[in-house]
Each structure stands twice: as C-alpha cells, then as structure tokens.
C-alpha cells in the first residue's frame, strides 16, 4: 500500500528545461507542481471530506442529546438502535478510512516526492550555471538554498491541504451547522470571522518578509561557516581562529536579531488570538443559552454550538500556526528562488551543433573581456595557433593568461571578438562538445571527495581499469596511490581523497589530475602551471611524459617557470591584456624585450617579483 502511494508521482520524470525560470513565486511553484496536479486535486477533495465528517460528528452529537431528551431511557434503543449502530460503524470504519487516505496522500504521495522533485530539478538547474556565476557566490550559501527550499515548499503544500483546505471547509460547515440550529447563531461567528481575518491579514503580511529575512540571514551564516571550513588550512596557518569566530558571530547575531523580530509577530498574534477566541466562546454559547431559555433552541442545539466553538477555539491556534507556517515556508522558498530561479545566461545557441573537430586549428580574433570592469582581462588579442602547435603563454599576474583559457573553454562569453576552432565559432557549438575536446590541468587541481579511481575516471568514465592504471603510471602516480588508505579502511585506488583532495599532498593531487587528463586524451591540451606543485625529480619525469602526451595535439601551456616552456614551438608574452611579444625562446631572448627580462630576473625558474610590480 505504501509503495502504491509513494509511486503515484515520479520525482525524476522528464521535464522541459528552461534557461529563464519563473521569477515570481506562484508561477515558480506551479512549474514544479505540474506532475502533482491529479494528486493535489484528490488530496483537496479528501481533505474537504474529512472536514465534513468532523462537522457531521458535532452535528450528530447535538442530535444524540436531543434523542436522549425526547424519549424515555428504556425506549431510546428500541426506537433508534439501528441508527446508533450505523453511526458507530461509520465512526469505526468510514472515518478512519478517509483519514487514512488523507494522510497517505499527504505523507506518502506528496511530501517525499515533492521535495525530491524540487531538489533534483534545482540541482540540475544550478549545475547548468556558468563558472562565472559560481565565482560570484558562496558555495555554502548556494548549497544551503538548494537544501532548505524543497522542505519549505513541501511544508507549504502540506499546510494547504492539511490545514488551509480543511479549515476553510470546517468554517463554512460550522456556519451551516449553526444556521441549522438557529440562523441568529451565525451572527457572532461571522463577526468573529471578520476580526480573525484582519488578524490573519496582519500576521501573514509580516511573516513572509520576516521569514525571508531570517532565511537570508541563515544562508549568510552557512556561507561564512563553510568558507572557514573550506579554507581551514589558511585559518590555522595564519592563526586566525578568533578572527573567524568574530566573522561568523557577526552573521549569527544578525540571524538572531532577524529571528527575534519574526518571533515578536507570533507573540502578538497569540495574545490577540486568545482574546478573539474568548469573545467567540462567550458570544456563541451565551447566545445559544439565551435562545434555549426563550424556548427557541433545543438542548441539542446548545450542546452542538458549545462543542463547535470549543473545537474552533482549539483549531484557531492551529489554523493560525498553519497559515504562518505556510507563509514562512513561502518566504524561505522566495529566498531560495534568488539562487534557483536565476536565468542561465551562458547557454548554447538555439541551433548549436557538436564541434566538428578536424585538425585543431585555433584562431583568436580581437578577443576582449574585462569581466564587466573598466580594466583587467584581455584587450583586442588576436592569435592563430596551427594544428599540433605547442604554444607557451607567459606574463605577469593579471596579464590575462587565465582569462584567455577561460574564454577558450567558454566559461565566459567574450565581450568582443571571437574564438574559432577549425573555423567554427565556439559560441555556435555545444559547450559539452567543446570541452570534450579540451584537456586541462590547472595549477591548483582540486579533486572530488571520492575515490582515486573515480577522480581519474572523471577524465573518461567508460575507461577500463587497465587504462586507469596505465594513466596513473604515466603520471608517476601509481606508486603513491598503492600506499593510500583512508579512515574507513579503503586502500589504493579505492581510497577517498577528502574534500578538494585535502588528504593528498599538492604534488599527489597534481599527479592524479594529470592522470585524469591523460586518460581523457583530448586533442587540445591546456596546461596552467601543470607541474608547479611537483618536486624537481617528479617534475623531470612528468615533463618527459607530458612531451609524449603532447604529440599530435594542439597545446597551450601557461607557465611562470619559464624553463618548462622553453622548448615550445612558440611563446606568447601577454602584458596588460595584450600580446606584447611572440616567437621562439631563442628569438625572444635575442630580441631583448619583456621575455628576455623575465628570463634574466628568474630565480629558480620563476618570474622575478620586481617584474610583477
């Protein structure tokens, strides 16, 4: 039975992805709710039926009281026994069945699947964002919003059916029951409803913004705390424990203050609600007693009215809590939308096709990119790289080397100019097909918190175990991999490397990253300080391997250690976002320009700090 209801909606069902999700709250939720439409309708109907049954019990209580007063005790069973048996059967069989169906739809069909669907689609949506988008936010805050939005949306849906639909049906039914006893009993209920409506309106108008502010503050705390944890080596190395505590405390205190302001709303609401409920009890029960004294109402009507308002008294706090929970959940969803509903700005062209890679000719024409700032990045760079040519790129920090690589991989769209590969503008091909043809090793190659094998296989997931081991050997990684063991006892290629690969040394991480790229075996190879983290002995061994790997590939190698690129076919010198010089190592030395000064000022093969000024 549970599996039947849990399987009514598939949270992973196919859906049309959009680059521009709805920016307003209700359209945003509606888009996620599409697979649940039938289940939502069924749940709403059942919820109304449950409320009707509860009201029917109160009405029947009044009838039972009247029956007891209308006949002699000895004749009640003879006259009304069959009716009482049917009523008992209904209470014992039909009512639990309806309640069970209601909770099965809510707890098993909707709640697990609705949150899962939102989390799944939100994660897919966020992963489609560009590298630049991630660079502009805290990873912790993004993750927090992805995690807190689904349960909040699920809570909102739960309150709609468990409380709001039930309470509306109950209030309408209560008015009908009171009118059936005496039409005048509706008047105090209607007056109370108006005052209750004002209180609800006052509360929800304040709870939504207050809840969103609290959610924002919690996300900020998560972002700061995760930032400290992710950079724990720097925190410890600079002995900034107290500084990080103070940095987190500032956000924690903001969270406390926003939450305190939110709680003031609930305290005010509770006091006002108790006062309103007191008025309701006195007015309805008092009026019912007055009508009974005048002979205008039966004892059963007084009993039903009393039971009804006492039930409403108990329910109103729950209804108000449900409404505030509903709007609080919507506030959290609205905060999560700031991340989830952001449009995808770096997209494939509508008619984009896979890259038709033939030779590996790269043509850069008038490339300009400043990240939206007045300066920095690249300015009007034009460069042609022949198929199979090995090009080294050097320059001071901030000269534009990394920007060039990011634009080649289309992590950003250039503000002006274009990049062609085999005559195809990279903006006209699919991003996945472009990046499938480019292998890259960065200076700081962070690894996934998975096994060594999984990290190497990231280069080519369908590779065999023999190919994984061969790549590790070529990267001079096999020996240290076989010695690894993680705290869970996993060894060798099964050992997990920790977040960003922190359980490995810098050189070990770099060799695993090299193995991953060697396994990928892409025809274009980008090396961004690929061997800078290695000791001299390992670097010498890897350099020989890299030169063999480079054979037949188009290569772009960024280096500060100029000796690592001296044997390249051509060296391009960037300065202030422009190409200052280009030529072979010997030609540039003979020219006596910027490259020659870099070479002369090297200490241990790195660019001199005086040239970085």
- Read off the pLDDT of residues 57-86 as tens digits, 9 standing for 90 and up: 777 777 777 777 666 676 777 777 888 889
Of 181-195, 235-249, 392-406, 425-439, where does mean pLDDT reach its minimum? 181-195
Mean pLDDT of 182-204: 79
Per-residue pLDDT band for 169 (boundaries 50, 70, 90) equals: confident
DSSP state of 342: -
Q: pLDDT at position 11, please?
A: 92
At residue 609, does pLDDT exceed 50?
no
| pLDDT over 90 (residue 207) | no
Q: Indicate the DSSP class of residue 429.
A: B
Q: At 550, which helix (H) or strand (E)?
A: helix 536-550
Same domain (yes/no): 159, 127: yes
Structural domain of 398: 362-612
Q: Single out the residue of 586, 562, 554, 584 nearest to residue 420, CA to CA.
A: 554
What phi and psi values does residue 40 have, to the nearest 5 degrees? -65, -45
Instruction: Please report where in the chains the tokens 């409506």 appear, as a residue.
Output: 197
Q: What does 446-483 look like in DSSP terms, one character per residue?
A: -B-SSBHHHHHHTT-TT--HHHHHHHHHHTT-HHHHTT
Q: How far is CA 9 from CA 16, 34, 113, 114, in A?
A: 17, 10, 7, 9
**Residue 119 forms part of a structural domain:** yes
Q: In 266-314, at which residue ranges do the beta strands (DSSP E only) sit?
A: none
| Between residues 531 and 440, the one the model is more confident about | 440
The model's pLDDT over 157-166, given as tens digits with 9 standing for 90+, comes to: 888 887 777 7
Do 320 and 467 belong to one domain? no
**Band of the pLDDT at 539, cuts 50, 70, 90?**
low
Residues 6+ apart with CB under 8 A from 285: 302, 305, 306, 309
Of 455, 446, 440, nearest to 549 by C-alpha is 440
Count of structural domains, the chain: 2
| pLDDT for position 392 | 92
Return d(Cα 366, Cα 378) in angstroms, integer: 9
| Residue 611: predicted pLDDT | 39
Question: Alpha-carbon distance 174 to 168, whole Å?
Answer: 10
Is residue 335 domain-shared with residue 382, that is, in the same domain? no
Q: Identify whether residues 336 and 375 lie together within a single domain.
A: no
Q: With 0-12 CB in 10 A as exposed, 13-18 as middle and 19+ as buried, what is 112? A: middle
d(CA 239, CA 236): 5
Instruction: State pLDDT tens for residues 288-325.
Output: 787 778 777 777 777 777 777 777 776 776 777 777 77
pTM (global) more than 0.75: no
The residues, ordered by sequence, that sit 6+ positions from 552 with a Cβ below 8 Å of its Cβ are: 388, 523
354 inside domain: no
- Is residue 178 a contact partner of residue 371, using CB atoms and an 8 Å limit? no
Among 35, 33, 28, 48, smallest CA distance to 8 is for 35
Gap between the Cα atoms of 57 and 333, Å rounded: 38
- Do 391 and 444 belong to one domain? yes
Over residues 468-485, the pLDDT tens digits come to 999 999 888 899 999 999
pLDDT tens, 232-264?
867 877 788 888 888 889 989 999 999 898 888
Tell me the per-residue pLDDT of 95-111, one tens digit each, with 9 for 90 and over: 899 989 988 998 899 98
Within this chain, do residues 372 and 316 fall inside the same structural domain, yes or no?
A: no
Structure-model confidence comparison of residues 563 and 542, the more confident one: 563
Tokens of 369: 């990119």
**Cβ–Cβ < 8 Å for 313, 280:** yes
pLDDT band per the 50, 70, 90 thresholds, residue 610:
very low
**How does residue 197 score in pLDDT terms, banded at 50, 70 and 90?**
confident
Residue whose C-alpha is closest to residue 501's, from 443, 444, 559, 575: 444
Domain final residue, candidates 291, 308, 340: 340
Q: Which residues of 585-603 are buried (b: 16+ CB within 10 A; e: fewer)?
A: beebbeeeebbeebbeebe
| CATH number of the domain enclosing 24 | 1.20.1560.10
Share the mean pLDDT of the chain.
83
Residues 269 and 398 in one domain: no
Enter the tokens of residue 195: 């005052």
**Across the strands, what pairs with 571?**
392, 583
Residue 225 has pLDDT above 60, yes or no: yes
CA 398 – CA 599 distance, rounded (Å): 18
* Residue 213 confidence (pLDDT) above 80: yes
Res 457: pLDDT: 93
State how far Cα 271 lies from the chain centre: 37
pLDDT band, residue 531 (cuts 50/70/90): low
Is the pLDDT confidence value at 527 over 50?
yes
Where is 525: in which H helix or E strand?
Answer: strand 524-528
Same domain, 385 and 333: no
Helices (H), 231-298: 232-237, 241-293
* Residue 274 confidence (pLDDT): 82
Q: Is the pLDDT of residue 538 over 80?
A: no
- Please check the confidence at residue 607 and state whether its pLDDT lies above 60: no
pLDDT digits (tens, 9 = 90+) for 279-288: 877 877 787 7
The pLDDT value given to residue 437? 93
**The pLDDT of residue 608 is above 60:** no
Task: Kindly tell me if the per-residue pLDDT of 577 is higher than 70.
Answer: yes
Residues 100, 202 within the same domain: yes
Domain boundary among 309, 340, 371: 340
Determine how β-strand 524-528 pairs with β-strand 570-575.
unpaired
Q: Which residues contact 537 (CB under 8 A, 6 or more apart)?
A: none
CATH of the domain at 414: 3.40.50.300
Q: Which residue would you say has higher pLDDT here, 487 or 549?
A: 487
């Amino acid at each position: 039975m549970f599996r039947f209801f849990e399987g009514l909606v598939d949270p992973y069902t196919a859906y049309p992805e959009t680059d521009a999700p709805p920016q307003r709250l209700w359209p945003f939720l509606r888009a996620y709710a599409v697979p649940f439409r039938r289940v939502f309708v069924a749940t709403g109907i059942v919820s109304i039926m449950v409320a009707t049954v509860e009201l029917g019990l109160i009405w029947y209580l009044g009838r039972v009281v009247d029956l007891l007063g209308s006949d002699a005790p000895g004749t009640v069973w003879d006259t009304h026994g069959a009716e009482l048996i049917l009523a008992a059967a209904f209470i014992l069989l039909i009512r639990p069945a309806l309640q069970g169906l209601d909770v099965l739809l809510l707890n098993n069909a909707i709640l697990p699947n609705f949150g899962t669907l939102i989390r799944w689609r939100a994660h897919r949506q966020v992963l489609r964002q560009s590298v630049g988008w991630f660079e502009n936010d805290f990873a912790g805050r993004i993750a927090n919003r992805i995690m807190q939005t689904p349960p909040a949306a699920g809570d909102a849906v739960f309150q709609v059916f468990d409380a709001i639909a039930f309470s509306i049906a109950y209030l309408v039914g209560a008015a009908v029951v009171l009118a059936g006893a005496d039409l005048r009993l509706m008047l105090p209920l209607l007056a109370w409803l108006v005052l209750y409506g004002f209180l609800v309106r006052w509360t929800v108008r304040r709870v939504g913004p207050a809840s969103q502010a609290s959610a924002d503050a919690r996300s900020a705390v998560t972002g700061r705390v995760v930032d400290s944890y992710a950079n724990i080596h720097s925190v410890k190395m600079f002995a900034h424990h107290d500084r990080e505590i103070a940095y987190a405390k500032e956000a924690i205190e903001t969270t406390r203050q926003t939450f305190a302001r939110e709680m003031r709303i609930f305290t005010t609401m509770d006091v006002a609600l108790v006062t309103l409920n007191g008025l309701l009890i006195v007015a309805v029960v008092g009026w019912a007693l007055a009508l009974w004294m005048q002979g205008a109402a039966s004892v059963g009507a007084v009993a039903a009215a009393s039971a009804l308002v006492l039930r409403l008294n108990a329910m109103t706090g729950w209804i108000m809590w449900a409404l505030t929970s509903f709007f609080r959940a919507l506030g959290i969803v609205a905060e999560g939308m700031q991340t989830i509903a952001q449009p995808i700005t770096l997209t494939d062209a509508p008619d984009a096709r896979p890259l038709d890679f033939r030779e590996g000719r790269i043509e850069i024409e008038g490339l300009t990119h400043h990240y939206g700032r007045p300066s920095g990045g690249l300015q009007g760079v034009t460069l042609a790289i022949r198929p199979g040519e090995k090009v080294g790129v050097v320059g001071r920090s901030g000269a534009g080397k990394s920007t060039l690589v990011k634009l080649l991989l289309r992590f950003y769209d250039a503000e002006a100019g274009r990049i062609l590969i085999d005559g195809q503008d990279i903006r006209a091909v699919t991003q996945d097909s472009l990046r499938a043809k480019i292998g890259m090793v960065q200076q700081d190659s962070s690894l996934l918190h998975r096994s060594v094998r999984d990290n190497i296989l990231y280069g080519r997931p369908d590779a065999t175990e023999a190919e994984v081991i061969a790549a590790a050997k070529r990267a001079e990684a096999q020996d240290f991999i076989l010695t690894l063991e993680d705290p869970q006892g996993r060894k060798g290629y099964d050992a997990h490397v920790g977040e960003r690969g922190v359980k490995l040394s810098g050189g070990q991480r770099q060799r695993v990253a090299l193995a991953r790229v060697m396994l990928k075996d892409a025809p274009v190879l980008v090396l961004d300080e690929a061997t800078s983290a290695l000791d001299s002995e390992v670097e010498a061994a890897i350099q020989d391997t890299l030169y063999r790997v480079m054979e037949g590939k188009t290569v772009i190698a960024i280096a500060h250690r100029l000796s690592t690129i001296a044997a390249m076919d051509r060296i391009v010198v960037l300065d202030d976002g422009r190409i200052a010089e280009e030529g072979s190592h010997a030609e540039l030395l003979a020219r006596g320009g910027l490259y020659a000064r870099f070479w002369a000022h090297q200490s241990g093969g790195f660019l001199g700090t005086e040239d970085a000024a």
